[in-house]
Amino acid sequence: MVRRDFLKTSIIAGTIAVCETPGALAQEQATENNGMPRLVPPAKPAELNLCLQYGAIPGAEMKEKLDFLEANGFASVETGGGDWLINNADALAKELEGRKLFVSAVCAGYKGDFASADQATRRLAVDSCKPLLEKAGMLKSCGLIVCPARRNVGMAFPELRDDFVKNTGRELAEHAVKFNTSIVLEPLQRSETMFLRLVADGAAIARDIGPGCTVMGDFWHMSKEENSFMGAFLSAGKLLSHVHIASLKGRQIPGVDGSADNYTDGFKGLKLLGYRGAVSLEGGFPKDSDRKQLILNMVKLLREQWIVA
């Protein structure tokens, strides 16, 4: 055999030797799995932890409200921020003792504006968030919901993003870490802000800021902005810390908009992530409706959809 023929034979033989076994294995696996990608299940399976915002819970007193949650299949409560949190966090912590309920997110309630051109207004946003983060940490909450911008934005978008990542947002995230909590970025929809509309964008900002910053997804906003509920949640990965849910035609309690209220695609994403945070109602109630009954209907609907997702 001449040298050229020997090399040619060896190369072909070598190629076969290297590729044959994995190729055969891959083909076998593909047949087993109908050609679909294999997904690695999360170490701990996801949980559907249903949650109500404090103000939406039936009942007048704190105890009555928490009793309602426990008696009706809820795992969590989302609190308001602002003065309510400052004045009620200690009482809430005491009332939660011995219960299985956990506090999910604290819903905003800060002053100022991270997107203002005025430095003092941005400073106010940072300073007014800090005591709320301290209370959020004390309540073992995943964090304080923060929207970096609303409709009126005083800076160019690149400048605002840079300032939030390097200054305002980062200072708050570093403060949050000290209290074992986070700032939770909430993507909105274009009618509310053009700055942060996609869960993936929020996740990228959270990644750039680092520890102490997470992201959430709100089904209502996502229904207007995202191509896929599942894709959006997957893009957040481990940075996803909270979820809001509402009916998908009129932003009321899930179930009132009939077949439009289908969350299974999003629930698939949450299951793939092994998500164990809260799914919290942020929506209204039809006028003169039986709120308790609608809440029970929602619990049933979401549980059914979680099972089949």
Q: Pick between residue 169 and residue 283 the one whose CB is nearest to Mg ion.
A: 283
The answer to whether 195 and 207 have CB atoms below 8 angstroms apart is no
**In the numeric block, which tokens belong to residue 217?**
């997804």
Q: How far is the CB of 79 from Mg ion (least distance, A)?
A: 14
**3-class SS shares of the chain: helix, strand, coil, % to 5:** 50, 15, 35
Instruction: Report, in Å, the least distance between residue 282 CB and Mg ion.
Output: 5
Find the part of the chain contacting Mg ion (CB under 5 A) among 97-105, 203-211, 213-221, 290-298: 213-221
Least distance (Å) from Mg ion to the CB of residue 214? 14
Instruction: Point out which span in 95-103, 163-171, 266-274, 276-284 binds Mg ion (CB under 5 A).
Output: 276-284
Please, which residue, 95 or 223, has the CB nearer to Mg ion? Answer: 223
- Could you say which of 134, 218, 226, 261 contacts Mg ion (CB under 5 A)? 218
Q: At which residue do the structure tokens 């004390």 appear?
A: 138
| 8 A C-beta contact, residue 282 and residue 218 | yes
Q: How far apart are CA 161 and CA 185, in angstroms?
A: 13
- List, as one string, the DSSP characters of 88-109: HHHHHHHHHTT-S-EEEEEE--
Comparison of 155 and 283: residue with beta carbon closer to Mg ion: 283
Least Cα distance to 220 among 193, 194, 191, 188 occurs for 188
Stretch that binds Mg ion, among 73-81, 163-171, 218-226, 273-281 (CB under 5 A): 218-226
244 interacts with Mg ion by CB under 5 A: yes
Shortest reach from residue 71's CB to Mg ion, in Å? 26
Q: Using the structure block, give the residue that is written with the tokens 């942020």.
A: 282
Q: Which is nearer to Mg ion, 169 or 217 (CB)?
A: 217
Separation CA 51–CA 293 (nearest Å): 16
Residue 22 CB, nearest approach to Mg ion (Å): 47
The residue among 76 and 155 lying less far from Mg ion, judged by its C-beta, is 76
Q: Please state the closest distance from residue 248 (CB atom) to Mg ion, in A.
A: 13
**Stretch touching Mg ion by CB under 5 A, among 14-22, 136-144, 211-219, 249-257:** 211-219
Query: Angle, nearest 10°, between helix axes 291-308 and 264-273?
Result: 60
95 is an interface residue for Mg ion by CB under 5 A: no
Question: Closest approach of Cβ 221 to Mg ion, in Å?
Answer: 7
- What is the rounded distance in angstroms from the CA atom of residue 64 to the CA atom of residue 284? 21
Minimum gap (Å) between residue 129 Cβ and Mg ion: 17
Count of residues interacting with Mg ion (CB under 5 A): 3
Cα–Cα distance measured from residue 309 to residue 179, given in angstroms and rounded to the nearest whole number: 35
Distance CA 261, CA 275 (A): 21
Could you say whether residue 282 binds Mg ion (CB under 5 A)? yes
Binding of residue 78 to Mg ion (CB under 5 A): no
Residues 278 and 241: beta-carbon distance below 8 Å: no
The single-letter code of the amino acid at 233 is F
Return the number of the residue (184 or 213) whose C-beta is nearest Mg ion.
184
Interface contacts to Mg ion, rule CB under 5 A: 218, 244, 282
